[in-house]
Amino acid sequence: MMNQKYLIGVDISKKKGDSALITDGLSVLSEKVVQNTDVKWERYLMTVLKKNKIAREDLLVCCENTGIYSNPLKRVCHKLGIALWVEHALKIKRASTDMRGKTDRQDALRIAEYACRYRDKAVIYQPEKPLVRALQHQVKIRETLIEKKVAMENQLREAKSHDPELYKALVKGYRTVLKTINAAIKKAEAEIEGLAAQDEEISTNEALLRSIPGIGAQTALRFIIRTDNFRNFSSAKHLACYAGVVPFANESGTIIKRQRISKMADKNLKQLLHMAAMAAIRSKGELQDYYKRKVAEGKNKMSVLNAVRNKLVHRIFAVILRQTPYQRENYFSIKNEISLAC
């Protein structure tokens, strides 16, 4: 349980971060704009500790998840041993009681107040293993290259059927580039395979995930990367909620509507689950049978597909928890263990 007496809320943008230091009694001690670099963050935090005579264990820093822009603050907090809570922006927004006006300074104060009110629920940032970070970089390279390749191939496909003259020009212009991109993709995939093989735990978990129908090599590795090899999640329910595949009640008084999925989700994990679910229902097996049966019963296709995503999450945790490849009978025998863990 978090019991810090001092809290810093940080509103981070590309070049700067607006910070607000408050006490656990919500008294504002200071506000400052800090350049978004490692050096400036370290200097600011050390000044805060020294000037206010704060012990490092008594300070909690909270910021919104802004992707790569929050990395300098993450590195510095880890280096200094200061607790950092990286929270979903929508959670902070919905918890704010006063949304009149919007400035970076006000946002920093709102984040600090949020951290104070909910610090007992804080999830303290822990950096990924170096090997996982290296995998992240190579997967990012591969995804970007594939995105560029698909964009070019789509242009070629459309021009071929509608504008032969443009098609010839595109082929001439893109031939060398596409050849280079294909070679770079193969190189990135070889790097990913080599890195995964260096860590026995990662390579074992990758093989376990690939035993689940619908999950291939790249999807398995991306799951491992997004979850830091499952260190960030304690249960299947935790992962399913984080990925946004758990439907929640949608009721008001006597009005009961169809359950809805929360928008507070990791879009990358949700996309991974969506692709895995689509692959699963296209292949013969229990998940395809389940999908067809529910749709035939008149269920909404997207609701059924979401149920398939949820089932995949539980299969993922089943094989990771038991450390044995997926088998239908094993999945059902471990289902109660997972439910208890949830």
Per DSSP, the residues of 91-147 read HHHHH-S--SS--HHHHHHHHHHHHHHTGGG--B--PPPHHHHHHHHHHHHHHHHHH
Average pLDDT over residues 270-280: 86
- 208/210 Cα distance (integer angstroms): 5
Which single residue is written with the structure tokens 């098609």?
167
Tell me which H or E stretch contains 28.
strand 28-35
- 224/204 Cα distance (integer angstroms): 11
DSSP-assigned beta bridge partners for residue 260: 248
Tell me which H or E stretch contains 75.
helix 71-80
Which single residue is written with the structure tokens 């610090």?
119
Predicted local confidence at residue 176, as pLDDT: 96
How many degrees, rounded to 5, is the angle at CA 145 between CA 143 and CA 149? 115
Query: 74, 77, 86: which is closest to 45 by C-alpha?
Result: 77
DSSP-assigned beta bridge partners for residue 149: none
Q: What is the dihedral of CA 268, 269, 273, 275, to 10 degrees?
A: 20
**Distances from the Cα of 309 to the Cα of 271, 274, 314, 328, angstroms:** 10, 6, 9, 16
Which residues have CB under 8 Å from 177's CB, separation 6+? Answer: 152
pLDDT band at 342 (very low <50, low <70, confident <90, very high): very low
| Average pLDDT, rounded, for the chain | 85
Give the HSE-up count for residue 277: Cα atoms under 13 Å, Cβ half-sphere.
23
Residue 263 · residue 244 · CB < 8 Å: yes
Domain range summary for the chain, segments of one domain joined by +: 6-121, 130-198, 217-341
- 305/295 Cα distance (integer angstroms): 10
Q: pLDDT for 92-128, tens place per residue?
A: 887 776 656 678 899 999 999 999 999 888 889 988 8
Average pLDDT over residues 179-198: 94
Q: pLDDT for 210-241, tens place per residue?
A: 998 888 888 888 888 888 888 877 777 877 77
The topology (CATH level 3) of 6-121 is Nucleotidyltransferase; domain 5 (3.30.420)
